[in-house]
Structure 1
Amino acid sequence: MHQSATDPRPRVLHLTQPVDGGVARVVTDLVRAQVAEGLDVTVACPDGPLTANLRTLGADVRRWEATRSPGPALVGEVRRLTRVIEQVRPDLVHAHSAKAGLAGRIAVRGRIPTVFQPHAWSFEAVGGVTAALALGWERRGARWSARTVCVSEAERRTGLRAGIAGRWRVIPNGIDTGRFRPAAADTVRARLVPEADPAAPLVVCVGRLCRQKGQDVLLRAWDAVLRRVPEARLVLVGDGPERDALRERAPRSVLFAGAVADAVPWYQAADLVVLPSRWEGMALAPLEAMACGRPVLMTDVDGARESLPPELAPRCLAPTENPAALADAVAALLLDPPLRESLGLQGRRHVLTTHDVRRTSEAVAGLYRDLLDAEPAARVAPTEYREPIHS
């Protein structure tokens, strides 16, 4: 691996915006592993709770003010990021999600090996002219990515179908299986929702309250669930731009828990964890729920099938944007406790063997070694080169 003349440790610079949700958890897990491995790790991101967590882990955190969406502020964001890069002088840059991928690749322009990890494609999040612009940028920006890391084969195929070229590596998401573990649901639930009937089925949805995560679809399905399981309760864990709109349409049986520092107890308390997303790369919430021994129900978006053991897919997947089908699937699982228990046990075994965060961190470390050991001309993919590389 390449070594600096003044410091034998490879210098890695992570760029991230957003600084919450699944992206922040992935960055945190990678930083923890890389600092432990002895890398010199810096993270450039906006201020927030993430920065304090990363400093606690031993990372150097540089303030990079950036909005979540592209716009007129981009020029200043790229300029500020260029100054950070000049100060840090990294051996490798790892840009997370669309905004950091946009600003980072413009600032670096292939002069330093750059890993881009979309965490779900930006052009899926928008429509019309904005989607066309996002897709056009992803196609052009690929020439400045030494590798594009997708968290699922489905995410990679979505990029290929969209005409994005480059050198690909598929590294599935992983979670901390020591932190996410089973507990007695009744005990945990009594602490979290003391006013609820302990025998009433509890459905939990963990995620940012935004269009991507599809909580509005789940709320549209909920009345039909209640007609079949009148005592059921639903908890939405998280916060976001859709909070007020969701509250307006939610019945009394829906609890808004807000943003929480630790979602583990909510998974442990659930009879069923539902994620009705409109798009994903590979969502973390279902993996976390399965690690806690809880059954999951997901919409059939990118990464969903790859999150599950093949035999669970028929029971654990529902079509997107279909409240009636989602309601049928939720109610059927709530009415079948033995099936839920079986799905939870199978899901935990699968996560332990396939989605442990240590496997993910080791795969990323191997990718870094490949890039830093390569000849300079081999570090950046040619524009039309498409090589699927799987971990």
Structure 2
Amino acid sequence: MLHRDRTEKSRLTVFHLVQPVDGGVARVVNDLVRAQIRAGVRPVVACPPGSPLADEAARAGATVRPWTAERSPGPSLAREVLAASRLIREARPHIVHAHSAKAGLAGRLAVRGRVPTVFQPHAWSFDAVQGREARLALGWERYGTRWSTRTLCVSDSERRAGEAAGIRARWSVVRNGIDLARFADDSGGGRRDGARAALATAAAAGGAGVAGPGPLVVCVGRLCRQKGQDVLLAAWPAVTRAVPGARLALVGDGPDAPALRAAAPPGVLLAGPCADVRPWLYAADAVVLPSRWEGLALAPLEAMACGRPVVLTDVSGARESLPPEDGPDLLVPPEDPPALAAALVRLLRDDRLRDRTARRAADHVRASFDVRRTAGAVLGLYQELLSTHRPMTRKHTER
């Protein structure tokens, strides 16, 4: 037993501090956890208990520690920082990897450079709020970067946005990746009818499904302001006027679900949360994500890997996720319902464009967004930081 404990402590230990615990952040963390376990690394995941992230990380073999933290900063921050500090001392990690704004705030305050610290914003906090809150978030990001050994962005555009905002960080960029074995290429459309039949069967059994012969557009994402489903609903009547019988499914859950349900015009289905989005992607003729901001979204990559064309808003990561030649047809300005409707109509009316785009999308994602490459690059970053790190003294942090 003593020998096993010594062996465990000698392994490279990475402490992932995470909040939020859903959506793309959770998927990125669990992808890293699985890859790190395969590489012989010991991942420790600290996050709110009882969350899907905590459960999946534990099933993957990570050490999971409960860290009770709210999604946004508030009066509980001091307690959350103290709890994070205690968990980090207990884990004695070689690397601290703080994910998203809240964990980035608490983690950097807890560590203050004493352990190599990677901060991964997963989209900038100051884009998510407005007015005074945005100024405070930006002020913190500028100040807190002194305790980031490296700021890890998921796209070049996310890094450029940080630089433009005055964040003087030591930057690395590692693009998000997906499990290509899980999202099989169906650019020929052979799985579409079967997926629709399966969803129809689910609907008959009380689940969410689709019916009707018209083209189906699917939007996968948390139902919240960031993902812009309200913009999509505003655009949808123009789509159905131009493409009669077109249907739209919003797949996901979130705080905006009641408002979106109340605003949804005919032909729109709110499918609710879904543990496996693949049937919806295979059932779709096109996938859309009208985000107001992103780092580099996973849902479009998964859709393209499945061989489905996507329409995106031109936010961070969108241009980098698409094949270069598809930008003019598939990128639209954020918060622009007429432009979003026009792009969807163009795609739904033109079978050849849709098929050509689907094939290019599948090839592009498979060549550039393999999660194994992403995880390997992150592990390489850890090794680089360990070879060069010096604990930050007060003198260092005040420079």
Q: Separation in 2 of the partners of 1:27 and 1:263?
A: 18
Name the SS of the counterpart of 1:78 in structure 2: helix
Once the two structures are superposed, residues 203-256 of structure 1 have per-residue CA deviations (whole angstroms, 9 ceiling, x without a partner) of: 000000000000000000000101001200100000000000001110231111
Query: Gaps spanning 5+ residues in structure 1: where?
Result: 386-391
Name the SS of the counterpart of 1:7 in structure 2: helix
Equivalences for residues 1-391 of structure 1 within 5 A: 7-47=9-49, 48-183=51-186, 184-193=191-200, 196-197=210-211, 199-376=213-390
Once the two structures are superposed, residues 305-341 of structure 1 have per-residue CA deviations (whole angstroms, 9 ceiling, x without a partner) of: 0001111111111111100110111111111122111
2:3 matched residue in structure 1: none
Name the SS of the counterpart of 1:186 in structure 2: helix
Q: Separation in 1 of the partners of 2:176 and 2:105?
A: 22
Q: Separation in 2 of the partners of 1:274 and 1:172?
A: 20
Identity of aligned residues (%): 61
Letter in 2 for 1:353: A
Cα RMSD after superposing both structures: 1.9
Q: Separation in 1 of the partners of 2:37 and 2:297?
A: 25
In structure 2, relative to structure 1, the CA distance for the partners of 1:69 and 1:294 (3 Å cut) is same
Q: Separation in 2 of the partners of 1:359 and 1:198?
A: 40
Q: Aligned-pair distance for 1:6?
A: 7.0
In structure 2, relative to structure 1, the CA distance for the partners of 1:35 and 1:5 (3 Å cut) is closer
TM-score (norm 2): 0.92
2:205 matched residue in structure 1: none
Q: Separation in 2 of the partners of 1:79 and 1:375?
A: 24
Q: After superposing the two structures, state which structure 1 stretch, 103-112 or 312-321, moved more.
A: 312-321
Name the SS of the counterpart of 2:9 in structure 1: coil
Q: Separation in 2 of the partners of 1:279 and 1:91?
A: 32
Name the SS of the counterpart of 1:141 in structure 2: helix
Letter in 1 for 2:43: V
Q: Separation in 1 of the partners of 2:127 and 2:349?
A: 34
TM-score (norm 1): 0.94
Q: Separation in 2 of the partners of 1:9 and 1:196?
A: 49
Q: Separation in 1 of the partners of 2:275 and 2:8?
A: 39
Name the SS of the counterpart of 1:18 in structure 2: coil
Q: After superposing the two structures, state which structure 1 stretch, 371-380 or 12-21, moved more.
A: 371-380
How many residues get paired?
A: 382
Name the SS of the counterpart of 2:44 in structure 1: strand
Q: Aligned-pair distance for 1:377?
A: 5.7
Name the SS of the counterpart of 1:376 in structure 2: coil
Once the two structures are superposed, residues 150-173 of structure 1 have per-residue CA deviations (whole angstroms, 9 ceiling, x without a partner) of: 011100010001110111001011
Letter in 2 for 1:7: K
Q: Aligned-pair distance for 1:191?
A: 1.4
Q: Separation in 2 of the partners of 1:308 and 1:6?
A: 42
Name the SS of the counterpart of 2:38 in structure 1: helix
Name the SS of the counterpart of 1:76 in structure 2: helix
In structure 2, relative to structure 1, the CA distance for the partners of 1:345 and 1:136 (3 Å cut) is same
Q: Separation in 1 of the partners of 2:73 and 2:392?
A: 30
Conserved 8 A contact 2:214-2:244? no
Higher RCO, Cα 8 Å, sep 6+: 1
Q: Aligned-pair distance for 1:5?
A: 8.7
Q: Separation in 1 of the partners of 2:280 and 2:20?
A: 23
Q: Aligned-pair distance for 1:193?
A: 3.5
Q: Separation in 1 of the partners of 2:93 and 2:299?
A: 32
Conserved 8 A contact 1:204-1:235? yes
Query: Gaps spanning 5+ residues in structure 2: where?
Result: 1-5, 202-208
In structure 2, relative to structure 1, the CA distance for the partners of 1:331 and 1:384 (3 Å cut) is farther
Q: Separation in 2 of the partners of 1:306 and 1:6?
A: 39
